[in-house]
Amino acid sequence: MKYLIFLFITIFGVNSLFAAYTFNGRGWIEHKRAGQTEWKRIDADSKIVLREGDELRTLRASSIEIYMDDGSRIKLAPLSSFKLRTEKEEKTSIGLFFGRLRSWVKRKLSRKFEVRTPSAVCAVRGTDFTVAVGNNGNTRVEVYSGSVLTGDAMGRTALVSSGQMIQVTAAGGVQDVQPNPNPPSNMESSVGDARLQAKKELYNEISKDSVMKAAQMEMQSAEYKLRKVAIDAFGYRVRMEEYIIRPQSDQFKYVVINNRQNRFDFGKILFTFNKSLPEDLSLATRNMTHATGSTEPQWQLTDINSIMSNTRDKVTEEASGGHMVADNPSSPTEWNLFFTNYAVYAQGGDLPLENGGKGKMLWSYSDSDFSNSIESGEITYLAGSAPSSSHLYPDGSNVFHDIAKNTYSDGTWIQAEDFVIFNDGKVAWTGDFASKLGVSKDILTDKLNFERVYTSSLFNGRKIDLVFSAKLLKDAGLINFN
pLDDT tens-digit profile of 391-414?
999 999 899 999 999 999 999 999
In contact, 38 and 55? CB cutoff 8 Å: no
Residue 69 located in a structural domain:
yes
- Same structural domain, 129 and 231: no
Q: Strand, coil or helix: what is 317?
A: strand
Same domain, yes or no: 233 and 172: no
pLDDT band at 17 (very low <50, low <70, confident <90, very high): very low
Q: What pLDDT is recorded for position 403? A: 95
Residues 164 and 200 placed together within one structural domain of the fold: no
**Interval 245-272 mean pLDDT:** 91
Q: What's the pLDDT at 96?
A: 93
pLDDT tens-digit series, residues 459-476: 999 999 999 998 888 777
State the sign of the Cα–Cα–Cα–Cα dihedral 103, 106, 108, 109. Answer: positive
Question: By the 8 A CB rule, do 251 and 198 touch?
Answer: yes
Q: Which residues contact 373 (CB under 8 A, 6 or more apart)?
A: 367
Listed residues 150, 179, 208: the one ending a domain = 179
**Per the domain annotation, does 74 fall within a domain?**
yes
Model pLDDT, residue 458: 97
Between residues 173 and 1, the one the model is more confident about: 173
In a domain, 187, yes or no: no
- Torsion, CA 194, CA 196, CA 199, CA 205, rounded to 10: -100
Amino acid identity of residue 301, one-letter, is L
Is residue 366 assigned to a domain?
A: yes
Within-domain flag for 353: yes
Residue 276 has pLDDT above 80, yes or no: yes
Note the pLDDT of residue 192: 57
Q: How many domains does the chain have?
A: 2
Tell me, yes or no, whether 249 and 172 share the same domain: no
Task: State whether 326 and 426 are in the same domain.
Answer: yes
215 and 108 housed in the same domain: no
User: Which pLDDT value is given to residue 10?
Assistant: 37
Q: Which amino acid is at 361?
A: M
Residue 193 has pLDDT above 60, yes or no: no
Q: Which of residues 106 and 15 earns the better pLDDT score?
A: 106
Predicted confidence at residue 440, as pLDDT, reads: 54
Last residue of a domain, one of 148, 179, 210: 179
Least confident of 16-20, 170-174, 209-213, 313-317: 16-20
Residue 92 lies in a domain: yes
Residue 477 is predicted with a pLDDT of: 75
- Is 287 found in the same domain as 208? yes
DSSP state, residue 37: -
> Alpha-carbon distance 295 to 107, whole Å?
46
The closest of 336, 163, 195 to 274, measured between CA atoms, is: 195
Would you state the pLDDT for residue 9?
A: 33
Closest CA to 334 of 323, 326, 345, 344: 326
Residue 387 lies in a domain: yes
Looking at 179, 203, 224, the residue that finishes a domain is: 179
Q: Does residue 432 share a domain with residue 287?
A: yes
DSSP 107: P
- As a whole number, mean pLDDT of residues 11-23 equals 56
CATH number at residue 132: 2.60.120.1440
pLDDT tens track for 142-184: 999 989 999 988 889 999 999 999 999 888 789 999 998 877 8
469 falls within a domain:
yes
Q: In the structure, what pLDDT confidence band is assigned to residue 442 with cuts at 50, 70 and 90?
A: low
Give the pLDDT band (50/70/90) at residue 202. low
pLDDT tens-digit map of 39-53:
998 887 778 889 889
- By residue count, the chain amounts to 482
Are 52 and 198 in the same domain?
Answer: no
Q: Which residues is 115 bridged to in the sheet? A: 94, 122
Q: Which pLDDT score is estimated for 2?
A: 42
Average pLDDT over residues 183-205: 65
- Print the domain residue range for 127: 19-179
480 confidence band (pLDDT: 50, 70, 90): low
Which helix (H) or strand (E) segment holds residue 132: the answer is strand 128-133
The values of phi and psi at residue 340, to 5°, are -70, -35
Q: 102 versus 153: which is more confidently predicted?
A: 102
Tens of pLDDT along 286-317? Answer: 888 888 999 999 999 999 999 999 999 999 99
Instruction: Please report the pLDDT score of residue 214 as a whole number.
Output: 82
pLDDT-derived band of residue 12, with 50, 70 and 90 as boundaries?
very low
Same domain, 331 and 458: yes
Do both 212 and 342 map to the same domain? yes
Shared domain for 163 and 268, answered yes or no, is no
Q: Which amino acid is at 62?
A: S
